[in-house]
């Protein structure tokens, strides 16, 4: 069993509230637009991190993290990418791979809109944790927390950090 904290779009922001939730997880997954690598460095000091770079991330972040991160967690195949789209509106850059080799869990960031949706066509769960940072149009900073046990994804929680000022 693994307790996962999923965040995205920190845009160089990390604070005590985020780190409190990091400490409660077994692993942290970041779906891109990290901004300053001080964010991921702070997370890695506390828990294991899996991440991808996003469209705002610089060459240093792109050297440290991949564009796509595919892996197996327990019995769940996972694909994290920053600009992936949504069920029915996937990014053309990932569509063929999605058809040929769909994961059980597809994680995207970029939109700053928290959304969890089952894609019946590709038989996968799509998650976007919204934005944990303070930059962007979102009104509430959000993250997701869930458990992977065997091949089950369960106990999904939305974490609302705070309204943006």
Lay out the sheet containing 140-149: strands in order across.
49-51, 27-30, 2-7, 140-149, 152-163
Q: Enter the pTM of the model.
A: 0.96
- 86-105 confidence digits (pLDDT tens): 999 999 999 999 999 999 99
Q: What is the pLDDT of residue 164?
A: 58
Q: What is the pLDDT of residue 31?
A: 98
**pLDDT reading at 151 higher than 80:** yes
- 39-86 confidence digits (pLDDT tens): 999 999 999 999 999 999 999 999 999 999 999 999 999 999 999 999
């Amino acid at each position: 069993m693994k307790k996962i904290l999923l965040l995205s779009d920190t845009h160089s922001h990390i604070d005590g509230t985020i780190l409190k939730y990091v400490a409660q997880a077994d692993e942290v997954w970041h779906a891109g637009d990290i901004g300053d690598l001080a964010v991921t460095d702070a997370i890695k000091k506390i828990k294991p991190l899996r991440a991808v770079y996003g469209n705002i991330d610089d060459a240093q972040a792109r050297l440290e993290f991949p564009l796509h991160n595919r892996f197996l967690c327990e019995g769940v195949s996972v694909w994290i990418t920053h600009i992936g789209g949504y069920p029915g509106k996937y990014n053309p850059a990932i569509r063929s791979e999605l058809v040929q080799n769909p994961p059980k869990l597809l994680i995207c960031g970029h939109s700053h809109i928290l959304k969890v949706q089952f894609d019946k066509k590709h038989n996968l769960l799509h998650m976007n944790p919204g934005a944990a940072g303070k930059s962007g149009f979102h009104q509430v900073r959000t993250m997701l927390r869930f458990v992977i046990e065997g091949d089950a994804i369960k106990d999904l929680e939305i974490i609302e950090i705070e309204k943006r000022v």
